[in-house]
Structure 1
Amino acid sequence: MDALTSSLDYELLDTNQQAGDSDQLFLELYSKEFLYFEFIPIAKDKGQAIINVHQDVTALFIELALQDQQKILRPSGIDQQNVTHAFIKEHYTNSIINHLKEFLLKFCVIDFLYQQLEKNKISFGGNPILHSCSLIHNSKAQYVFDLYLTEEISIGEWKLFPFKAPKRKNYKDLDKQVEYFIAEELANAEKSTADTVCLHDWILFSLTPLVQDEQPLAKSLTTLYWFKMADEEIESPLKELFLGKKVHSTMITHNQGLQNFLSNSLVSDYGFKVTIIAIVQHQYVCFNQLKSFFKIKTQKDLHKKLIEIFSYRNDISQRRATVEEALKILMNKHIFSISDQLVSIEKNEILSSIKQISDYNVYKRQADFNTRVHELAFKHAHEKVLIDQIIYNEKITVNLQDMKDYLNLTKRPRLKDFLYFDLPKTELDGQQIPISLQQLKKYCAREKAINYIIYHLTKK
């Protein structure tokens, strides 16, 4: 076990550590010595991000894949003793190269890309789009991503803007609903299985490729992922790997779910070391995490905060109305333009979400459906650009505790009203797939920024 992996087992699990310590650990983990980042501006609203994987690392993965294929391949009409390393190299190198392009992309490139875009404060909309990928034997791997850049916004003294937060309804029944909600979740907490992975939990795990199930393929070749233990009809080998395990658990595995996630272009049987770093349990709502997310301390403040998602006017919660009003004030004071492509990307995301609603066909038949979707996409695209700029300007960072606090709000439909933007997509073909830590950080950062904005607008 190298020093970095060891630090994962202990430092990252220490929930009492300072936020800065956690951030430093993330920085150490993702400043991988074998990955290199380059940014090339192409036009005012377009750029490219380039990730290079050092040739020494690609050589290690190619050799690992050659050995793996020699072990599992059974070519028709060829005696197995003739399936040598040289035979595999001669006949299967191209297939292995294509397989590793996908493997490296999902294992380390995407995560490193998001980390570097944040570190270099590159403002962009939507998600990076893979433009090209090349991997040549005895050479580096290179991934080129297209970015839709956003203009730098001159942020004024927004903290001094006048703001009047929407008030709650004064129905006494609302207080009773909140009290019942709190009591119910406290009872759920008492019945929960501490530190054991159950269905619907979120888990953070580290993944390290191994050589012959023993040694890491190379120092620092470890990546972190979040994974949701959804209750799916389709059998999930990846879910079965974690179910019933405890935090800190370490497994040496050839789990087929991991193989398929990293690449489905070639059957593989790699060995991995997997360690469960953290668990966000679904069985109960953690009110300490809720207090942490909103920076509140007393039970009275907790009650008041929960009222925001129980008090509704015109089918809009007090929380939603507060966020809408706060962002409206900021948007009115900061006029800027974004590309049509960003609005189109946002529109596609909105349509994708609406299609999951049972009444989608009813909505679609409304005469103003397309207009309303376009207006919402235009609004959300601008809001995300402005929020991202505030994140950079105010140096808002995200640590492990922030992510746990964020995921805590996904446990109940009611709690999701605390989250303004849609949750990240973690499902593919009816099954949950891991999401890289750095990708989730971006979603979490925007919600944290919204809390930051509301805090400063209302504290006057």
Structure 2
Amino acid sequence: MKSSTFSSDFIQIGPNLTKAIIKIPTDLVKKFYKHAARNHMNKINTSGFSRGTIPIEYIEQNFKQNILNHLKEFFLKYFVVSFLYRELRAKKIVTAGEPRLTNSFAYPEKEAEYHFEISTIQFPLAKEWKYISFRAPKRKGYKGIDKQAADFLKEEKDKEDSISNRDVQVGDWVSFAITLVDSELKPVFENLKETYWLKIGNEETAISFQEVFLNRKLGEKFYSNHICFQDFFNTEQETHCNFLIEIISILHQGFFSVEKFKDHFKIKTNKKTHQKMVEVFSFKDDLSLRRSIIDGTFNTLFHSYHIEAPSSCVLRQQQIILDNLQYNPDYAVYKSESGFQDHVKKLAERQVKEAAFMELLAYYEELQIEDVDVENYLNLTQRLRTKDFIHFSHPAIHANQDEYPILTEPLKQVCLREKALNHAIFHLTKE
């Protein structure tokens, strides 16, 4: 999606707090307002008029607030959030937690504005970080571990070779572009579309998206006004929007892609691939080698770089942790233990610091994030074993929420942190 038509302002309002203002130009607001008004004209019944004959002026006057509320929610999911994340990366703003929408404004003949609060962290980082002494934990020497890793890689490669149907199936990840079109199936906004990722779930809540995507082919384009898209883009009122959908990529649940795994970790040889896979098969005290390496990496970096996590960010992260724990069947047991709240606070503080440090490292090292990085990252979610390679999880993936599309740009931010972590591990463990 081109972003030249939008604008952003970032205003520091505190030591660790920035206000972001995203503006959508008047011409886009007017186009959507007219489009939504025409949709209302053809869909509602009003005394004195037959369906489809209500004057557009009557709609604009009497349904103004409904249309503006629809506009604000639609723009947020279609333009604004993605543009905000691209701007954060372009301006190399290190965030502590996700941006928070505080207000939005829209009028029929003016720019639309969205105001966000963003918690930020700044601290110095020098090139010497690559030379910090770090002794990486070693794998277990059991030969059975090598066999397990080798069997896993062979089994997944055999599955990939045997699959003939590459259309969308239940369990697949699908990347798709969506374009708002009018009643004549012409784009409402020229050259403006948004991209999402969606995992096709097998629960009852996923049926609507199954109806849209199952058996679709890579590169296929089709039009849809399915209720799942209406509900996604507007949660407050009934809408009747038409969309052009294009299937951009499919990650099949039927196999774990070894080639994407190699690309994710920049591995060239089968020997190195095997060694990397061993990291999630070798365990000590119920902790995989991969997790031990990650913990050791952060402990080493935090020993050299002292970071203060803003208390407000820690409190928000504590609540996120508690919300996730409530779905754990052992939550009541954890909560009853002495020191539970203190443990949650320390975990929240560490998570905030880890995410911020990796964003800073990514910007310092000029790391770039591409669509292929997202594919490689999501490939790791296809198997329970390989999920252990992931440290930074998107909230929807962490909560196993398959039924709703995930915007690509916020997902890229998570992948950027993950890419920076792998970059750090590579340099700190390089012999």
TM-score in terms of structure 1 length: 0.90
User: What is the CA–CA distance in structure 1 between the aligned matches of 2:320 and 2:187, rounded to whole Å?
Assistant: 38
- Match of 2:362? 391
Q: Is the 8 A contact 1:206 1:225 kept in 2?
A: yes
Is 1:44 the counterpart of 2:15? The answer is: yes
Residue 337 of structure 1 aligns to a residue whose secondary structure is: coil
Name the aligned partner's letter for residue 326 of structure 2.
K
Using the TM superposition, give the Cα deviation of residue 74 of structure 1 relative to its aligned residue in structure 2, in angstroms. 2.4
- Match of 1:114? 85
Using the TM superposition, give the Cα deviation of residue 415 of structure 1 relative to its aligned residue in structure 2, in angstroms. 0.6
- Match of 2:330? 359
Q: Is the 8 A contact 2:102 2:117 kept in 1?
A: yes
The residue correspondences of 1:367-406 to structure 2 (distance < 5 A) are 367-406=338-377
- Match of 1:436? 407
Is 1:64 the counterpart of 2:35? The answer is: yes
> Cα deviation per residue 1:197-253 (whole Å; 9 max; x = unaligned)?
111111111111112242211222211111111111225323321111011000111
> Cα deviation per residue 1:43-76 (whole Å; 9 max; x = unaligned)?
1111111110001000000000011111111246
Q: Is the 8 A contact 2:41 2:53 kept in 1?
A: no
- Match of 1:265? 236
The residue correspondences of 1:188-199 to structure 2 (distance < 5 A) are 188-199=159-170
Q: 2:102 aligns with which of 128, 131, 135?
A: 131
Q: 1:205 aligns with which of 153, 167, 176?
A: 176
Using the TM superposition, give the Cα deviation of residue 193 of structure 1 relative to its aligned residue in structure 2, in angstroms. 4.1
Is 1:161 the counterpart of 2:132? The answer is: yes
Using the TM superposition, give the Cα deviation of residue 306 of structure 1 relative to its aligned residue in structure 2, in angstroms. 0.9
Using the TM superposition, give the Cα deviation of residue 392 of structure 1 relative to its aligned residue in structure 2, in angstroms. 0.6
- Match of 1:150? 121
- Match of 1:415? 386
Structure 2 unmatched runs, 5+? none
Structure 1 unmatched runs, 5+? 1-28
Using the TM superposition, give the Cα deviation of residue 283 of structure 1 relative to its aligned residue in structure 2, in angstroms. 0.9
Identity level (%): 31
Distance change >3 Å, CA 50–CA 193, structure 1 → 2: farther
- Match of 1:231? 202
After superposing the two structures, state which structure 1 stretch, 213-222 or 409-418, moved more. Answer: 213-222
After superposing the two structures, state which structure 1 stretch, 125-134 or 147-156, moved more. Answer: 147-156
Q: 1:307 aligns with which of 278, 287, 290?
A: 278
- Match of 2:51? 80
Distance change >3 Å, CA 76–CA 282, structure 1 → 2: farther
User: What is the CA–CA distance in structure 2 between the aligned matches of 1:284 and 1:428, rounded to whole Å?
Assistant: 22
Residue 48 of structure 1 aligns to a residue whose secondary structure is: strand
Using the TM superposition, give the Cα deviation of residue 83 of structure 1 relative to its aligned residue in structure 2, in angstroms. 2.8
Residue 222 of structure 2 aligns to a residue whose secondary structure is: strand
Q: Is the 8 A contact 2:103 2:116 kept in 1?
A: yes
What is the number of equivalent residue pairs in this alignment?
431
> Cα deviation per residue 1:330-369 (whole Å; 9 max; x = unaligned)?
1110012121011112212222332232222222222222
Name the aligned partner's letter for residue 40 of structure 1.
I
Q: Is the 8 A contact 1:189 1:284 kept in 2?
A: yes
Q: CA RMSD in A?
A: 1.9
Q: 1:293 aligns with which of 264, 273, 281?
A: 264
Using the TM superposition, give the Cα deviation of residue 96 of structure 1 relative to its aligned residue in structure 2, in angstroms. 0.8
Using the TM superposition, give the Cα deviation of residue 292 of structure 1 relative to its aligned residue in structure 2, in angstroms. 0.5
- Match of 2:299? 328
Using the TM superposition, give the Cα deviation of residue 423 of structure 1 relative to its aligned residue in structure 2, in angstroms. 3.2
> Cα deviation per residue 1:354-411 (whole Å; 9 max; x = unaligned)?
2232222222222222121111111111111111110110011111111111000001
> Cα deviation per residue 1:301-338 (whole Å; 9 max; x = unaligned)?
11111110011101110000001101111111001212
Residue 205 of structure 2 aligns to a residue whose secondary structure is: coil
User: What is the CA–CA distance in structure 2 between the aligned matches of 1:357 and 1:177, rounded to whole Å?
Assistant: 29
User: What is the CA–CA distance in structure 1 between the aligned matches of 2:139 and 2:399, rounded to whole Å?
Assistant: 39
User: What is the CA–CA distance in structure 2 between the aligned matches of 1:426 and 1:167, rounded to whole Å?
Assistant: 30
User: What is the CA–CA distance in structure 1 between the aligned matches of 2:282 and 2:181, rounded to whole Å?
Assistant: 53
Using the TM superposition, give the Cα deviation of residue 78 of structure 1 relative to its aligned residue in structure 2, in angstroms. 5.7
Is 1:217 the counterpart of 2:164? The answer is: no
- Match of 1:91? 62
User: What is the CA–CA distance in structure 2 between the aligned matches of 1:193 and 1:155, rounded to whole Å?
Assistant: 50
User: What is the CA–CA distance in structure 1 between the aligned matches of 2:4 and 2:270, rounded to whole Å?
Assistant: 46
User: What is the CA–CA distance in structure 2 between the aligned matches of 1:90 and 1:259, rounded to whole Å?
Assistant: 23
Using the TM superposition, give the Cα deviation of residue 164 of structure 1 relative to its aligned residue in structure 2, in angstroms. 1.4
Using the TM superposition, give the Cα deviation of residue 103 of structure 1 relative to its aligned residue in structure 2, in angstroms. 0.7
Using the TM superposition, give the Cα deviation of residue 279 of structure 1 relative to its aligned residue in structure 2, in angstroms. 1.0
User: What is the CA–CA distance in structure 1 between the aligned matches of 2:410 and 2:257, rounded to whole Å?
Assistant: 23
Residue 276 of structure 1 aligns to a residue whose secondary structure is: strand
Name the aligned partner's letter for residue 155 of structure 2.
E
Distance change >3 Å, CA 427–CA 77, structure 1 → 2: farther
Residue 396 of structure 2 aligns to a residue whose secondary structure is: coil
Distance change >3 Å, CA 318–CA 379, structure 1 → 2: same
User: What is the CA–CA distance in structure 1 between the aligned matches of 2:164 and 2:335, rounded to whole Å?
Assistant: 44
Name the aligned partner's letter for residue 102 of structure 1.
E
Distance change >3 Å, CA 213–CA 164, structure 1 → 2: farther
Is 1:340 the counterpart of 2:311? The answer is: yes
Distance change >3 Å, CA 81–CA 310, structure 1 → 2: closer
Distance change >3 Å, CA 431–CA 180, structure 1 → 2: closer
User: What is the CA–CA distance in structure 1 between the aligned matches of 2:206 and 2:374, rounded to whole Å?
Assistant: 28
User: What is the CA–CA distance in structure 1 between the aligned matches of 2:400 and 2:120, rounded to whole Å?
Assistant: 31
Q: Is the 8 A contact 2:175 2:198 kept in 1?
A: yes
TM-score in terms of structure 2 length: 0.95
Using the TM superposition, give the Cα deviation of residue 86 of structure 1 relative to its aligned residue in structure 2, in angstroms. 2.5
- Match of 2:428? 457
The residue correspondences of 1:238-257 to structure 2 (distance < 5 A) are 238-257=209-228
Q: Is the 8 A contact 2:104 2:112 kept in 1?
A: yes
Distance change >3 Å, CA 425–CA 235, structure 1 → 2: closer
Residue 153 of structure 1 aligns to a residue whose secondary structure is: coil
Using the TM superposition, give the Cα deviation of residue 172 of structure 1 relative to its aligned residue in structure 2, in angstroms. 1.6
Q: Is the 8 A contact 1:131 1:146 kept in 2?
A: yes
Q: Is the 8 A contact 1:309 1:319 kept in 2?
A: yes
